[in-house]
Structure formats: structure tokens, C-alpha cells
Amino acid sequence: VATQLNSSGLLRTQGLIGGKWSDAYDGKTIKVYNPATGESIADVAYMGARETNDAISSAYDAFKSWSKITAAERSKYLRKWYDLLMANREEIAQLMTLEQGKPLKESLGEVNYGAGFIEFAAEEAKRIYGDVIPSPLSDRRLFVLKQPVGVVAAITPWNFPLAMITRKVGPALACGCTVVIKPSELTPLTALAAAELSIQAGIPAGVVNVVMGNAPEIGDALVESPQVRKITFTGSTAVGKKLMAGSAKTVKKVSLELGGNAPCIVFDDADLDVAVKGTIAAKFRNSGQTCVCANRILVQEGIYDKFAEALVDAVQNMKVGNGFSEGVVQGPLINDAAVEKVENLLNDATSKGAKIILGGKRHSLGLTFYEPTVVSDVSNEMGIAREEVFGPVAPLLRFKTEEDAIRIANDTNAGLGSYVFTNSIQRSWRVAEALEYGLVGVNEGVISTEVAPFGGFKQSGLGREGSKYGMDEYLEIKYVCMGNM
């Protein structure tokens, strides 16, 4: 697959600085591995502070002209980029499965979803409206202008190698900002392919830059630069807090999409089929490696046994394997550390009384493959219910009343995705309003879309991505007062 991709021109291994593909200045590289085979796919540039500072300078220079062209022109560039992403959908999806491990069908879905942010941004670019405010004084006129914030640093994780980039870069570019992207070192190839297509779309040099390598060093350079006016980050809560604290020095705008601890609440009055299908979609997508994956499945006592049985029935039919193989719905985990985390959380839970009712061990395929797992009798005090599992493990917790469910669901510092299964309209509203979460799926397990706002309450983050709300993150508001009219 890699050689095939090479001939398509999308397999890039250098960083992109000021429109030029560039090696690390000291020539260092790092390997990218296929988690499904353990084989290395490519050696990519391993960069640091020097390359990052040059990328920032390029973005800063490019901002002068990119912010001045018309919204309609920026819209056209973005539209072209979207068209190219879709025209190369198969190749990008292959690259994604190769470096990330997710089943090809999920990768194809991510290309649609990821490219969708660019399409939406192309459309929304033309609708960045200001305001005219009625003046309290008759000889004055008051206006509000929306202007791009400046150079944006976008730091992204490995679980959605395309979409986490496009949902930041699309709106940034639409608003007139320029960007320095720092993709995950585990999945840089998808990011670089997208960057290559931004060049093919004619987006001017320096508007999109990509650096990767020593993450803390690159992160520090981005945070410390007074030229970077905005940090947008998706990843762990620990790194997000560090970036936010670092940004205080230069008072940058900050958007954070951090860890979740999604409750999936199944009430006695739920449709069992809908609840099982929705829970599986919410839990096992990307082998459980998303920040909105159901982390705690709260099931009301009247339906608990039936639900557990139906869930086990469905989960045991899920095919595990290489994401390129037909019928596979569960790929490997991203690396060994991810498997160890799952093992530790499960060991801890079983030592405290939880029972594994399906799976519960490494898969016979070896490497980082893990058996889809269901574990019952979990309590909200166990580590498995307090931390993000980020693996194919469904922990079941039993509850009695609606009040119990809401209390348990909200008993966490995170507040990103949440799910509710019930056939009562009144309960849907009551629970949706009571959940301290940025996203609520009612009778639906996969709800993310570029047209709706995505983001968290509490320590799950700051700001929103996607939709019209996602545009505001890249804009400054300017008040203009014309006096003595």
C-alpha cells in the first residue's frame, strides 16, 4: 500500500515550512509504524524549536496577505481543498488505516467527516458578519468588526489524524488566520497528505505549515512565541493544562478539546435494540479510542440483565483484525502503552469486585490487538469509571432512579460526550438539561458533525469546534466608534 501511495504523491515525510517541504535541520528522522503489523511505514522528519520558529515566521508573513484577500477568495481556496480531499478519499483513507489502524470503512468515514469541516468553512467564510449598534448619542455611529486573530498553532492527536486538523484549520483559514500544525508523531502521514493537497489547491505558501518531532520542544516554541496569537489543541488533559498555563505569558486565545468520561445512560423504558446498537457505536468506534467514547455504561436495574446479555451477544460478533481486511470492525490499539492502560484498569476493577463477562485479555492476533470486552458490576469509584479507558472495554454500572443516574453521570471532572437511551420525551429533556456535558446524544450513539458545536464542560475543555460557533474561536471583535457625525 505504501508504494502505491508513494506514486500518488501523497506520501510526504518532510515538514512544510513557508510552502517548502523541509527535512529536520539536523537531518533527524523518526519512524512511523503500522500498529496492525508492527512494520515501519516511513521515516519522517523529527523537528524541534528551530524549524517551528521558522514555520511561525512564515505563517506570520503569510498572514499579512491572507487576511487581506476577500472572504470569497478564501472560500474558493477552501472549496478547492475540499474537492481535492474528496477526490483523493481512497488514498487518504488507506494512509490513515496504515498508520492509525482503524478499519478502512471508518477511515473513509473520517475523510468525509474531516473534509466536511473544510467544506463548511468554505461556506461559512462568507458569513463572518459584524454588527451595527444603535448609538446612545445622536452624533455617533457604532460598529462591530470581526477580524482574524492572527497566527494559529494547532496541536492534534493520533485518534482522528485528519478530522482533528481540518476542524481547526478550516475555520482558521476561513477567518483569515494562518496556521502552524503539529500533528501527532504517531500519525503524521495523513496530516502531510492533507497539507500536500492544500498546496495543490493553490493555498499560498506559508498559510499552512506543518512541523512534527519533539512535541514538548515544538509545543514550547509555539507557546512562547508572541507571534502566535491562538493555540488550539486536542489531546490529553495534562498537556492541555500545560499549554493553557504557558499561554498565559503571552495571553493567547486558547481552545482545548481534552479528555472525556462519557456516561451512556440506558433507562428501563429504552428500546433495547436502539440502546444496544447506540452503545456499541458510542463505545467501540475506533476501538474505543475517541474522547467521546462511552466510558461508563449506566444501566437501570429493570433492564440491566437483558441489556448486558444483548450487548455481549452483539459484541462477541465483532471481528478484530487488520483494518484492511474485509469485515473487520475492530483494529489494534495505537501502541503498547494503550494496551497496558486497559490491562491495569481492568485488573484494578476486577480486584474490587467487577466481573468480566466477555473478553478481558489481549487478542490472539498479538501486537496491540485487544478482545472487545464487557465488564459488569462496575462502581463509579473504580479507576475504570474515573479515567478514560480509551480501549474496547464496556464497563456496566447499575443504577436505580433517574436522580441516581444524573448524580453518577455528573460525578466526574470531565464533561464532553454523553448518551441517553429512553423512550420518554419528558425524561429526554430532563436528563439532557441536567447532564453537565457539552454534547448529549439522545437515542443516538454517534452525533459528531461539522455543522454542530463540539466541545466540553468542566475540565474537558474550552471553546467549541465545528458549526458557526467554531468560527468565533479564530476571530477578534473590534468596536469602531465614529464620532462628530
Instruction: Measure CA 29 to chain center.
Output: 26
- Give me the DSSP letters along 104-145: HHHHHHHHHHHHHHHHHHHHHGGG---EEE--SSTT-EEEEE
Which residue, 59 or 440, is less far from ligand ADP as judged by CB? 59
Tell me if 191 sits within 8 A of 145, measured CB to CB. no
Shortest spacing between CB 195 and ligand ADP, in angstroms = 15
Task: Please report how close the Cβ of residue 322 comes to ligand ADP at its closest, in angstroms.
Answer: 22
CA–CA gap between residue 373 and residue 284 (Å, rounded): 10
For residue 6 the three cell numbers come to 508513494
Cβ proximity to ligand ADP, 157 vs 323, nearer residue: 157
Interface residues with ligand ADP (CB under 6 A) are 155-158, 182, 184-185, 215-216, 219, 235-236, 239, 242
Nearer to ligand ADP, 194 or 311 (CB): 194
Nearer to ligand ADP, 237 or 418 (CB): 237
CB of 155 to ligand ADP, least distance (A): 5
Q: Are 122 and 173 in contact (CB under 8 A)?
A: no
Angle between helices 163-175 and 71-87 (to 10 degrees): 160
CB of 331 to ligand ADP, least distance (A): 16
Q: Which amino acids are annotated catalytic?
A: 257, 291
Q: How far is the CB of 236 from ligand ADP (least distance, A)?
A: 3
Q: Could you tell me the three cell numbers for 300?
A: 437501570
Nearest CA to 464 out of 474, 475, 453, 472 is that of 453
**What's the angle, vertex CA 113, arms to CA 203 and CA 296, rounded to 5?**
135
Task: Please state the closest distance from residue 334 (CB atom) to ligand ADP, in A.
Answer: 8
Is 97 or 156 the residue whose CB approaches ligand ADP more closely? Answer: 156
For ligand ADP, which is the closer residue by CB, 338 or 408?
338
Distance CA 83, CA 79 (A): 6
Half-sphere exposure of 467 (CA within 13 A, CB side): 11
Least CB distance to ligand ADP at residue 483 (A): 45
One-letter amino acid for residue 68 of the chain: K
3-state DSSP percent of the chain in helix, strand and coil, to 5: 40, 20, 35
- Residue 75 vs 234, nearer CB to ligand ADP: 234
Q: State phi, psi for 269 to the nearest 5 degrees.
A: -90, 15
User: Which C-beta is closer to ligand ADP: that of 14 or that of 236?
Assistant: 236
Residue nearest to ligand ADP according to CB distances in the complex: 219
Q: Which grid coordinates belong to 57?
A: 515566521
Dihedral, 452, 458, 460, 464 alpha carbons, nearest 10: 30
Phi, psi of 455 (to 5 degrees): 170, 170
| Least Cβ distance, residue 157 to ligand ADP (angstroms) | 4
- Walk across the sheet containing 417-421 and list its strands: 355-358, 373-376, 393-399, 294-300, 262-266, 417-421, 439-442
